[in-house]
Amino acid sequence: MIHVNEWPRPWPLKAMVDQLQRGSTLRRLTEPKRSIRWHDVREYQFENIAESVLVEYFGRENIITRKKIATILNIPQTQFPTNARPDLIVRHCGSLHLCELKASRKDYNRYHKEMGPSFRKYLNSIDYTGPAPYEVEQDLIKLFLYRHLSERVGSCLFLMVDAYEGPSWSWSAAFQEKSEFLRRMHTPLISGMADELLEFTQIRLLESESADATANLITCEVQSVTQ
């Protein structure tokens, strides 16, 4: 697997790594679910951590969270993904930089396949009628499509904290080995981009200061064209 030499710009990912490793932050983000009564979505915590770092670097006025991309780009809301809401957007040097985030607990690896009707309609439009892709693949598709909505869209980054330690496969393994990546991706669009996506992927070990948690940070910059 080929690794890029530097973090994708303009993302201050070293600062984000430092924040994730501070104290018991990583443990709280990745520990097993504490209650069966509540919906337990860890990327909300991850989004808050990432947002705090981005605000420090770029200022509150340059950070946008969970707004429709059509509204941000001032374009008509038509077909998917104009109705989608990127997790984080950074205004920087005249461009909009978009990020989708995921986080997994040590006892669960985000194998979700929930998908809205507009996403399914898009997949049907490209002649894909197979099983719903995992949410990770859905994020990669969205990031790829964002790049084609406007010249104002700059970098598009997928970011995942993967702490899974169970017996099944992990997303870290999928992003390290092409054959494993292809086994987990359903759509021809993303399968056809495997070499490019893995070329622009990095996986770095996270270790908390308090020595109570470890995880992998997966970063994948999604480019605008397939090979």
State residue 224's pLDDT score: 62
Per-domain residue ranges of the chain? 13-221
Give the tens place of pLDDT for each residue, 26-56.
999 999 887 655 556 777 899 999 999 999 9
State residue 4's pLDDT score: 44
Distance (Å, rounded) from C-alpha 146 to C-alpha 149?
5
Residue 176 has pLDDT above 70, yes or no: yes
CA 73-75-79 angle, to 5 degrees, is 115
Average of pLDDT values for 188-215? 95
Give the tens place of pLDDT for each residue, 133-157.
999 999 999 999 999 999 999 999 9
Give the tens place of pLDDT for each residue, 155-173.
999 999 999 999 999 999 9
Q: What is the crossing angle of helices 13-21 and 43-58, to 10°?
A: 130
